[in-house]
Amino acid sequence: MFQAAEVGRTVPKADYKRELPELRTRLIEAQQQLRHSNRSVVIILEGVHGAGRGALANRLQEWLDPRGVETHALWDLSDEELQRPYYWRFWRRLPARGRITVLFGGWYQDLLTRGGEGKLGVNELDTALTQARHFEEMLAADGTLFLKFWCHLPEKAQKKALKDQQHMPGEHYRYGHGKKACLKNREDLLRTAERAIRRTDTADAPWYLIESRDERYRDLTVGRTLAHALERHLAEERDGSVPRTSGAPDLPEAPSAQRTVLDGVDLERALEKKEYKQALNHHQDRLYRLIWQAYREKRSMILAFEGWDAAGKGGVIRRLIRGMDSRLYRVLPVAAPDSRERAHHYLWRFWWQLPRAGRMLIFDRSWYGRVLVERVEGLARQQEWKRAYQEINDFEEQLVDHGILLMKFWLHISADEQLARFKAREDTPYKRYKITEEDWRNRERWNDYRLAVNEMVFRTDTEYAPWELIPANDKRYARIEVLRRVCDRLEAMLDKG
């Protein structure tokens, strides 16, 4: 999940200065309208320690009309609060209609602190998250707009940020322990946060992942996302339609702010032919042994392949199965659903195909079509593909909880490489069938797909089923890399028993 906030997004100073005046005007205008509406706004700032939530809150106070905004940091429980049910401390701070409240952490803070310290079991966490979700649903139904921001830093950047902060007073209050503990607990905190975000990322109270290394990017993105949500929410109130807010943050216009996880994939990776042959033999032998072992131990495996047109999915899959016994696997190409499939929920056909114990199932394209082609081409309505992220996470969690090894691959190539491959296909008679009008059309939507992939990775890259982004400009490299990763994961699973 968090790799989508480690892609190096920035906003240069000049762009910041250019974009800011318009944003501030939009914010003030939206706030004016909010004042006379039936809506209220709750902004929750969460994130890793050192990501600058304090500075961000100050910025929001500066940009908005301060008479309509309150900011609350919830530190120790007061004795008044201790004497009442836990949520009393939040109820008393809820904004009235027309007003905005910024909460540091809100009802997530205590959970994340305890989760980060390893003091919270999964069931207890889930129970508390369900409560949080119901609380938000209740208020959203009554007109409250929620925006929840997770301010993220990669590990190195966090270390540096904490070091730079050392002279700030009052810092030791946060989370109730020191900087060393923050770093030591980072992994547990992020694991808890991933689960919390996944369980409470709803249409009415979405989470936004904000890369916070560059202050200008962080502040501008949060500001734009807030302005955009306010504007849509208020417009929808006027139209009488159900208020929905966007699921992805609203990016600044600077090109450097629009990097995606795909920009971090090193497309220079390549393999020499000789090296490739050796590695291919080696890993195919490994896979052959491992697959039979998995069969004997009744462990199943599901691989899902996604990627750009002409990225080489077919070639990778052929290299995978070449070493395998055909009784142990199936390859399922996923195209548009047939009439029987359309008579059911879109996940039904994937459930239907789930393998028996000890088998491998390979999907050439998968359930992610919902949030890729169906989203970009408008085949699914916005509310359909938006709720699909959570549906997919639930689906995959059930697979993994059942003991199935699930791996999902995105084969990445550059736009130039795709063009070269398309042309080659047109020029080679026996490859011509592979290229259609549709491929050229999809190519025109390259940028839409890029952003859809980025959001997909943010929302569905989970601890139990991470995305594998594979550099595939060099076909040999991609094939070996996939084979190797499959063998490694399978081996690790079988070793653990």
Does residue number 351 form part of the binding site for a second copy (CB under 8 A)?
yes
Whose tokens are 């130039």? That residue is 416
Write out the DSSP string of 227-285.
HHHHHHHHHHHHHTPPP---SS----SSGGG---GGGGS-TT----HHHHHHHHHHHHH
Measured from the CB of residue 409, what is the shortest distance to a second copy in angstroms?
22
Does residue number 344 form part of the binding site for a second copy (CB under 8 A)?
yes
Does residue number 348 form part of the binding site for a second copy (CB under 8 A)?
yes
- Tell me the number of residues near a second copy by CB under 8 A: 54
Contact between 101 and 43 (Cβ < 8 Å): yes
- How far is the CA of 10 from the CAs of 56, 152, 164, 210, 213, in angstroms? 16, 14, 20, 11, 8
Does residue number 381 form part of the binding site for a second copy (CB under 8 A)?
no
Among 356, 437, 495, 496, binds a second copy (CB under 8 A): 356
Strand 69-73: give its sheet, edge to edge.
Answer: 69-73, 100-104, 40-47, 144-152, 207-211
* Cα torsion angle, 293, 296, 302, 307, sign: positive
Quick one: DSSP state of residue 358?
A: T
In the range 221-250, which residues lie near a second copy by CB under 8 A? 242
Does residue number 94 form part of the binding site for a second copy (CB under 8 A)?
yes
Measured from the CB of residue 91, what is the shortest distance to a second copy in angstroms?
4
Does residue number 87 form part of the binding site for a second copy (CB under 8 A)?
yes
Measured from the CB of residue 394, what is the shortest distance to a second copy in angstroms?
6
Phi and psi at residue 150, to the nearest 5°: -105, 110
Does residue number 131 form part of the binding site for a second copy (CB under 8 A)?
yes
Pick the closer one to a second copy by CB: 309 or 396: 396
Nearest to 315 by CA among 195, 478, 170, 444: 478
* Cα torsion angle, 448, 452, 453, 455, sign: positive
Measured from the CB of residue 294, what is the shortest distance to a second copy in angstroms?
13
In the range 389-448, which residues lie near a second copy by CB under 8 A? 390-391, 394, 398-399, 401-402, 404
Does residue number 42 form part of the binding site for a second copy (CB under 8 A)?
no
Residue type, 143: G
Buried b (16+ CB within 10 A) or exposed e, 154-184: beebbbebbeeeeeeeebeebbeeebeebbe
Measured from the CB of residue 238, what is the shortest distance to a second copy in angstroms?
18
Does residue number 457 form part of the binding site for a second copy (CB under 8 A)?
no
> Among the candidate windows 118-126, 204-212, 247-255, 314-322, which touches a second copy by CB under 8 A?
118-126
Does residue number 254 form part of the binding site for a second copy (CB under 8 A)?
no
Contacts of 242 (CB under 8 A, 6+ apart): 236
Among 127, 278, 382, 447, binds a second copy (CB under 8 A): 127
Q: Note the residues at the interface with a second copy (CB under 8 A).
A: 80, 83-88, 91-92, 94, 96-98, 121-124, 126-127, 130-131, 134-135, 138-139, 141-142, 144, 242, 298, 300, 340, 343-348, 351-352, 354, 356-357, 383-384, 387, 390-391, 394, 398-399, 401-402, 404
